[in-house]
Amino acid sequence: MADLSRTTHRVSGGYDIVIAEAGDRAAPAVVFIHGSGPGASGASNFRQNIDAFVAAGYRVILPDLIGYGGSSKPEGLDYTLQLFTDTLYEALVAHGISAASLVGNSLGGGIALLMTLDHPEFTRNLVLMAPGCVAEREAYFVMPGIAKMVSNFGGPDFNLAEQKRLVSNLVHPDFAPNIPDTLVAERFEVARTQPKDVIVRMRTPDLSPRLGEIDKPVFVLWGLNDEFCPEAHSRLFLDHCPDVRAITFGRTGHWVQVERAAEFNAYAIEFLDARR
């Protein structure tokens, strides 16, 4: 894998946001925004995509959201979509990025949407894999994948086996045996440092009524067997975004960029190349 450099930026509220990156700093920036869940981080969520995008001539930006990876993990507050978006945007600007393509999975897709709505001049285009925040929060919490994600993470009984179970829930059962132990271990080390507020006090709005405001090119990719964000939500983008295309993958869960890495890389790079 390409070597990653890491920079920490202090943002409003006194929080630190870590940004890893690879590739030519003069190349067009692509910001990969990871999803939620115990142990998530930028590098662990997109490890199978970094080299392909660097080889295609892009500057790969991998931030750790507040509450995740190596970034600050405050307790005693609501983890709102606005908090995720504002702290990330401030860190990206401090990192010298004035415009970028946004690639977001799950919660990261919702952040990409809100960042585009709040700062339309910043976003060139969007690649979204099973994006969240296009339904009421309660609608997601009845999804079977989220129900299975309930865990005593960070507690005394939390171990590698429990972390592997959590990660396996993100993918189709056929793919679960392919999850590397190194990925599980990497996420376990992060999960052990996270407060429960990251999950239990997450607050996300329904952005679907605002999708028609997004005039950037949008590419939506979804697994048909996603148990976290239903594939039927792809129709919201097709119905409301003025410039959108979508692909659905059979026998695929919530992690298109992992389960279908080679195809995802090829399709997403083709989409971005056409708009350089």
- CB count in 10 Å sphere of residue 31: 28
Asked whether the predicted pLDDT for residue 115 surpasses 80, the reply is yes
pLDDT the model gives residue 148: 83
Sign of the CA dihedral running 133, 136, 142, 147: positive
The CATH number of whichever domain residue 12 belongs to comes to 3.40.50.1820
Segment 100-105 shows an average pLDDT of 98
Helix ranges (H only) for the chain are 42-45, 50-55, 81-94, 107-118, 137-141, 144-148, 160-168, 181-191, 197-200, 234-240, 256-259, 261-273
Domain hosting 116: range is 5-273
- Two structure tokens written together for 144: 């079977």
Residues 6+ apart with CB under 8 A from 270: none
User: Does 261 score more than 90 pLDDT?
Assistant: yes
pLDDT (0 to 100) of residue 154: 76
Specify the number of domains making up the chain.
Answer: 1
pLDDT at 147: 82
Angle at 185 (CA atoms; ends 182, 187), nearest 5 degrees:
110
**pLDDT greater than 90 at residue 186:** yes
Q: How many Cα atoms within 13 Å fall on the side-chain side of residue 78?
A: 6
* DSSP label of 143: S
Mean pLDDT of the chain: 96
Confidence check: pLDDT of 267 > 90: yes
Helix (H) or strand (E) holding 39: none
Q: What is the pLDDT of residues 134-180, one digit of tens each?
A: 999 889 988 999 888 877 787 788 999 999 999 999 999 999 999 99
Mean pLDDT for the stretch of residues 205-212? 98
Phi and psi angles of residue 189, each rounded to the nearest 5 degrees, phi first: -65, -35
Pairing of the two strands 15-22 and 123-129:
unpaired
Over residues 172-194, mean pLDDT = 96
Helix (H, G, I), strand (E, B) or coil at 246: strand
Is residue 230 pLDDT above 90, yes or no?
A: yes
Q: Given a cut of 80, is residue 257 above it in pLDDT? A: yes
Strand pairing class (29-33; 15-22): unpaired
- In this prediction, residue 69 carries a pLDDT of 98
pLDDT average, residue stretch 18-44: 97
Contact, 228 vs 256, CB < 8 A? no
Q: Name the residue with tokens 């190194």.
A: 182
- The answer to whether residue 254 is catalytic is yes
Tokens of 232: 């039927």
What single-letter amino acid sits at 231?
E
Q: Express each pLDDT in 47-99 by its tens digit.
A: 999 999 999 999 999 999 999 999 999 999 999 999 999 999 999 999 999 99
Report the pLDDT value the prediction gives residue 166, as an integer from 0 to 100. Answer: 94
